[in-house]
Amino acid sequence: MTPSPAPSTQPILEGFRHALAAAEAFVGATAPNPPVGCTVLDADGGILATAAHQKAGTAHAEAAALALCRQARTFERIHTLLVTLEPCNHHGRTPPCVEAILASPARTIWIASRDPNPAVAGGGAARLAAQGRQVFDLAALGHSEAAELVRRADRLIAPFVCWSTRGRPWLTLKQALTHDGRMVPPAGAKTFTSAASLDLAHSLRRRADAIITGSGTVLADDPLFTVRRVADPRTGARRLAILDRRRRVSPDYLRAAPLRGLEASLHDSIPEALADLAATGVLEALVECGPSLLAAFLEADLWDEHVVIRQAAPAGRADHIDIHTRIPTPDPRSPDVFRNH
Ligand SMILES: NC(=O)c1ccc[n+]([C@@H]2O[C@H](COP(=O)([O-])OP(=O)(O)OC[C@H]3O[C@@H](n4cnc5c(N)ncnc54)[C@H](OP(=O)(O)O)[C@@H]3O)[C@@H](O)[C@H]2O)c1
């Protein structure tokens, strides 16, 4: 890595803010790829384009941003690329981004997060550097906002890191509690939390590729499990994995699921469900279940983010929300993961 950055700090921070916002808009829509954003700067630090990877099989963020420059006839002014994730150096469903960058006038490439895939970590940056491009880690700016932007970029790919290094989806447990600590709603009600908490619950659903629940919840609530309160960029179906050893969930419920954009499946154990979800490219699953299944996830220490929404007492005041996140740490078998961070 070349130690000192050439362009000034503020355009880099501003460009990364745009790139991260662009990528965050497609969280929940890109699996099995991670969300990625890219901003292109000219030599004066002016933003020429910002783009995000929107869906697997479509252009990666770097290629999309370069294409925007071509369309706007600013391609020859390209000087610096800011990418939230290290550009890929391998052929997947689309050509390697490194080649697209090398075919552009970009001289300098800034990277927020390194590629977590042990097979390719460092490969994209190394190839760019070997071809005479300057490559910098955003963290090397040594700036407090840069550190915060790197944290956002690392969080953005945390489900992808979890899936690619642990072989299971990132698990978010959502647990709503009444003011006296119960998970079961009062008779006749399906929920007891505030409108803001329901918005949060739907934003957690929106970012997940799958919902995991238990037969007890399906039988008690007949839940829709759709994203209704926030915009949802997802175009394909979301998985709905139901833990139901006794097969109590009705065929009618399962038949209606696809009409709501859900691909439902029944499972006999948590490990079996997680393996099945991971095999179909589910990067993140939201666990929305009752107390029995939730206890099993907690007992097995199977969670990456635990969101506890506690109803305020007296009702009507803002709920108390507690979010505990465990960002994946480097796997000892793959020491390249997140090096330099
Ligand atoms: N407050 C909240 O955040 C929240 C969220 C969702 C639901 N709820 C409420 O929770 C209530 C339902 O509670 P619940 O506990 O019956 O629902 P649940 O946890 O969603 O489902 C329990 C069922 O899951 C199956 N299961 C499969 N593997 C399991 C395992 N390893 N451990 C435990 N269960 C496993 C069991 O059925 P088999 O034995 O047939 O496999 C069990 O009866 C409803 O009133 C609902 O409104 C609350």
Top-confidence range, 82-91, 112-121, 210-219: 210-219
**Is residue 157 scored above 50 in pLDDT?**
yes
Q: What is the pLDDT of residue 121?
A: 66
- Does residue 129 or residue 2 have the better pLDDT? 129
| Global confidence as pTM | 0.90
Convert the pLDDT of each residue in 4-43 to its tens digit.
445 589 999 999 999 999 999 999 999 999 999 999 999 9
* Cα distances (Å, whole numbers) of residue 304 to 132, 169, 181, 260: 39, 9, 22, 27
Among 184, 194, 202, 243, residue to substitute to test ligand 1 (most atoms within 8 Å of Cβ): 243
Give the separation between CA 286 and CA 235, rounded to whole angstroms.
18
Mean pLDDT along residues 273-282: 98
Q: Give the pLDDT of residue 316.
A: 64
Confidence of residue 340 (pLDDT cuts 50, 70, 90): very low
The answer, yes or no, to whether any atom of ligand 1 lies below 6 A from the CB of 276, is: no
| Ligand 1 pocket mutation, candidates 289, 297, 306, 321, criterion most atoms within 8 A of CB | 289
- The residue contributing the CA closest to ligand 1 atom 4 is 290
Question: For position 115, what pLDDT does the model report?
Answer: 85
Protein residue closest via CA to atom 13 of ligand 1: 290
Residue nearest to atom 11 of ligand 1 (CA): 290
Ranges of beta strands (E only) in 94-146 are 108-113, 134-137
pLDDT, tens only, 141-153: 888 999 999 999 9
Q: Which residue has the higher pLDDT, 93 or 189?
A: 189
Q: What is the DSSP letter of 288?
A: -
Beta-ladder partners of 170? 284
pLDDT at 275 over 50: yes
293 CA distance to ligand 1 centroid (A)?
5
CB 283 within 8 A of CB 32: yes
Per the annotation, the verdict on 288 as an active-site residue is: no
Residue nearest to atom 10 of ligand 1 (CA): 290
Span from the CA of 243 to the centroid of ligand 1 (angstroms): 8
Confidence check: pLDDT of 326 > 70: yes
Query: CB-based contacts of 187: which residues, under 8 Å, 6+ apart?
Result: none
| Contact in structure between 46 and 14 (CB atoms under 8 Å) | no
Query: Is residue 244 within 6 Å of ligand 1 at its C-beta?
Result: yes
Helix (H, G, I), strand (E, B) or coil at 40: strand
Ligand 1 pocket, 248 CB below 6 A? yes
pLDDT over threshold 90, residue 190: no
**Torsion sign, CA atoms 204, 205, 208, 212:** positive
Of the chain, the percentage scoring pLDDT greater than 90 comes to: 80
Query: Is it the case that residue 274 has pLDDT exceeding 60?
Result: yes
> What pLDDT does residue 332 have?
39
Cα–Cα distance measured from residue 15 to residue 153, given in angstroms and rounded to the nearest whole number? 13
What pLDDT shows up at residue 188?
82
CA of 295 to the centre of ligand 1 (A): 9
Instruction: List the single range of 109-113, 167-171, 312-316 with lowest mean pLDDT.
Output: 312-316
Q: Whose CA is nearest to atom 27 of ligand 1?
A: 243
Average pLDDT, the chain: 91
- pLDDT for 333: 38
pLDDT for residue 247 is more than 70: yes
pLDDT tens for 61-83 read 999 999 999 999 999 999 999 99
Q: Which residue has the tokens 């869906």?
A: 55
Residue 118 has what pLDDT?
65
pLDDT tens digits, 95-135: 788 999 999 999 999 999 998 776 666 789 999 999 999 99
Confidence category of residue 251, pLDDT binned at 50, 70, 90: very high
